[in-house]
Amino acid sequence: MTHQTLHATAAQTTPAGLGAAPPVAGDRASTERAPAERAPAERSPDDPGRPLPPVTGVRLVGGEMLSWSDAEADTRAAAAPPGAAALFALPVPARGRVLVAGPHDPCMVAALTDRGLGVDILLRSLPDAREARLRLGDPAGPAAVGVICGALDRMPAGGEYDAVIALDGLDRLVTPDSRDRGWRAVASALAAQARPGAPVIVTVPNRFGFDRLTLPDRPDGTDGPEPGPQDAPAGFEATSAALARLGLTIREAFAVFPNRSRPALLATADGLAVPGAGTLVAAAFSPTGTDVTTSAPAPAGTVSEPRRLARDAVRHGLGFALATDWMLVTSAGEARNRAEGGDVTPDPLPPAHGAAPALLILDEPAEAFWTVPQVVTGSPGNWQRRLADPMDTTERVLGHVYRDPSAVVGTVPDGDLLEERLLAACARDDAAAMRTVLRGYAEWQRGSAPGTADPARALIHLDNAVDTGDGLVPLDPSWGCTERVAQVVAFLAAARRFARRLLDGGYPHPWPSDVSLDRLALTFATMAGFAPTRDDLAAATRFALDTDPARHSEVTGDEAALAAACAAPWPGTPALGHREALTLAIRRGAELTEARAQVRWLDETLAERNEQLSLSAKNLDRMRHSITYRIGGLLTGPFRFVVRLARKGLRG
């Protein structure tokens, strides 16, 4: 289902507003201002003499932020948490009405309405609410989507919703006019909107996650890149206990990577044991997605390069604990039912399709055209992968690249990624292990025609090839190439990609710190048994551009720029965090000290040999002026004269 279809569906199923819902009892502001159509004309904060346009189809409940816009305030503006794709794995009811609280992905609302669900949207910003109303269309149409503007604590706690979704978190559900802006108060108000047993899906930030370890603290001194309520529980266990005290029981918990604003991967604690999970998490932190030709610089102020840290954390079993955010699927438990005088036991929360997911790969390539959301379920040794949307089987083709979504369905291969093995070999300076990995990969990549690469494997790089013990298998077999290419060219393109990851990630390796990508690629190709030339490197540059999913056209300037960047000494610092840059500076300092020591040794050796040469010259001059040398010259003079005459005769 395309995003265009989802938007069109939402526009066709737009509701009349929410004027029938009662205002909050005892709230004078809410009583006077709901519904918005009957509210008095508001005044513009920029020009008090000019009234604002009427807010048609938006219900005001009180505490609205009249001039503030969350959509323009900060980098979380897009607030595109897992969105429509996540709904294929999360327990959304088959019927009823859903409250979407806070900034959200518009495609998620469209996907909910497409299922026949009624949706209410709660936004605290009046400009954002107007924008949502305009995007959704005429509120006088069929009742499906309503827009509410105001603070969460001003809404009636009726428990009337069959599901509550707050994927942006809790901090943007209240306003400065809210009575209690504490974490527990906001969470309690959110839970009060759901009927007993209904799912409440909320994203909770981790104040000691990857962002705390890789980004600097904010100027206001708060921990991490974003402030939060002072009474927010610290850690996952404390959060679970706090929610339990509010009557919410956690049914599923997902770690969100890299964060809730730009999610690329959702994973349970068990799901991070899936083969290749570390690489998926590291790729989620990459700002370039699947772009194989460029590396983006690290964000300004980055303390540590997040991709390497994420990969190592998953390998050591700390990926879930250090996740930037957690998405929690909760439901009203028995404690809340008894407190409300009920005896209803919440029903299990099955996902929309199949078994409960361990991994939800939202798959964020550089271009949305290539996106294929996937779900991984099962247990260690028997991980199964399927499409998040079973109907999304259309093959993507662009230029010489294709992606077949149906190819990802099946068992996830169990084994080590070749990239992991090669990184470990580079760290140990183990040339034999490097040679084994590279030659095995080259042999596997070879096609049926001599000297060519298999088109189905030409784009399966070292970070996508798994050694199962019985041979190599692609981790994601959906990518392929439609043209035949020389094997050495395909190998050089893959080697360059690995070299860039090796250098950009600050991983240890035995080569000089300023080694170029081309030099590394040529070294790897030689280890694999190839005899590459400069022409092969030029062909690899063109192949990388032609098969880059982020590219749509062939640009000569791009080819020249990429070739120059790959041939130049690696600068290092633009793509590194402060930690890796400091390590690089220390290494280059050591290399400089060693180079200076070598220069000093050469200077000393040269001076010593010059001294020896001068002494030899003095000894020779002394011998030539000695009496013995002169007597010898007189005795041998006639013989030398005869020899010279003989030579002249022979020449004549």
Does the structure show a pLDDT above 70 at 300?
A: no
Q: Any residues with CB less than 8 A from the CB of 397 and at least 6 apart, and which?
A: 403, 482
Structure confidence by residue, pLDDT tens digits, 57-115? 788 888 888 888 777 755 444 444 444 555 555 677 778 888 888 888 787 788 788 77
Q: Supply the DSSP symbol for 411.
A: E
Q: Which helix (H) or strand (E) holds 586?
A: helix 578-624
Rounded CA-CA distance 627/193 in Å is 119
Identity at 580, one-letter amino acid code = E
Q: Any residues with CB less than 8 A from the CB of 484 and at least 6 apart, and which?
A: 447, 449, 452, 453, 455
Q: Which residue matches tokens 């439901």?
A: 331
Does the structure show a pLDDT above 90 at 434?
A: yes
Do residues 59 and 34 make contact, with C-beta atoms less than 8 angstroms apart?
Answer: yes
Do residues 66 and 42 make contact, with C-beta atoms less than 8 angstroms apart?
Answer: yes
Q: What is the pTM of this model?
A: 0.70
What is the DSSP code string of 431-461?
HHHHHHHHHHHHHHHB-SSTTBB-TTTTT--
How would you write 330-348 as a 3-class SS string? EEECHHHHHHCCCCCCCCC
**What pLDDT sits at residue 279?**
77
Do residues 272 and 314 make contact, with C-beta atoms less than 8 angstroms apart?
Answer: yes
Strand partners, 256: 266, 325
| Token couple for 258 | 């890299």
| Token couple for 426 | 């580079």
**Ranked by mean pLDDT, which of 138-147, 272-281, 299-308, 342-351 comes out on top?**
272-281
The helix/strand count (H/E) of the chain reads as 20, 19
**What pLDDT sits at residue 493?**
92
Q: Which of 147, 148, 142, 107 is nearest to 12 (CA)?
A: 142
What is the rounded average pLDDT of the residues 477-503? 90
Strand 118-123 to 199-205 pairing: unpaired
Rounded CA-CA distance 337/346 in Å is 9
For the ranges 19-28, 43-52, 382-391, 450-459, which has the lowest average pLDDT?
19-28
| Token couple for 273 | 């044991």
Does the structure show a pLDDT above 70 at 428?
A: yes
Q: Residue 302 — very low, low, confident or very high, per pLDDT cuts 50/70/90?
A: low
Do residues 248 and 331 make contact, with C-beta atoms less than 8 angstroms apart?
Answer: yes
Judged by DSSP in three states, 318 sits in coil
Q: How many CB atoms lie within 10 A of CB 618?
A: 10
**What pLDDT sits at residue 435?**
94
What is the rounded average pLDDT of the residues 191-198? 86
Q: Residue 188 — very low, low, confident or very high, per pLDDT cuts 50/70/90?
A: confident
